[in-house]
Amino acid sequence: MRRPLLILSIAVFGSCVLFRQTLERDPVTHVLLLLPALAVAGWLMAVSLGRHRLRLREADANALTLLGVFAILFWMLPRYIDASLTNPLVEAAKFISVPLCIGAVLAVSWKATHPFLRGFLKANALSMLGVLAFLYIHAPVRICNSYLEVDQQRLGYGFLFVALALSLVWAVPLFFPADGGATPNKHLSGRATA
C-alpha cells in the first residue's frame, strides 16, 4: 500500500464532500471540477492500494474500461446531474459511483486496454465534447432545471476548452513518446514483397 497516495485520495474525496455545495452551485465547477475530482480520488485510491498487482487479461481490461465509459456517459446526462442536486440518494450514488466506477476502474484497466480501443475512445471523447459544447451553447431550453441558461452556455464553452486541452495533452506524447517507442528508427528487416 502506498500510504501517501491513499491520504491524498482521502483528502481529495474529503474536499469534494466538504465543498460540495459550493462546487455544485455552478454547473461549470460541478461538471468540470467536482466530477473529475471524484474520479481522481478513486484513481488515487486504486493506485495506492496496489493496482499493479492485478494481472488483467486484455479482454477483461477492455470490458472494465467500457464500464468506466458507461459510467461517464451516465453522469453526463443532464437529468442525473439535476437529480443529484435534489435527491440525496442520487447524490450519494454520485459520490460512490464516480470514484469507484470511473476513477478506480480506469486506474485498474486503462493501461491494459487494447491500444486501438484507447485511441478510439480518446478520439470519440474529443468529438463528443465538441457535440456537448454545441448542445449546451445552442440549446433552446434549459437542459438542467437547477441551472440558468447562461450557466449552461458557460458549461458549453467549458466543454470546448476541455476538448482543446485534451487534444493537446493526448497528441504531444504521440509525437514524442516518453519511452521513445519500442524500436525507434529501425526498419524491419526482410521487407515483404508484393
Q: How far is the CB of 114 from other proteins (least distance, A)?
A: 9
Q: Does 77 bind other proteins (CB under 8 A)?
A: no
Q: Does 88 bind other proteins (CB under 8 A)?
A: no
Residue closer to other proteins (CB basis): 3 or 186: 186
Only one residue has cell 474536499, namely 15
Residue closer to other proteins (CB basis): 50 or 181: 181
Window of 19-27, 77-85, 123-131, 144-152 that interacts with other proteins by CB under 8 A: 123-131
Nearest-angstrom CA–CA distance, 122 and 78: 22
For other proteins, the binding residue among 1, 89, 168, 188 (CB under 8 A) is: 188
Task: Looking at residues 131 to 170 of the shown chain, list those that interact with other proteins (rule: CB under 8 A).
Answer: 131, 134-135, 138-141
For other proteins, the binding residue among 22, 87, 127, 145 (CB under 8 A) is: 127
Window of 10-18, 86-94, 98-106, 127-135 that interacts with other proteins by CB under 8 A: 127-135
For the record, the C-alpha cell of 35 comes out as 466530477
Chain residues in the site for other proteins (CB under 8 A): 115-116, 119-120, 123-124, 126-128, 130-131, 134-135, 138-141, 173-177, 180-188, 191-192, 194
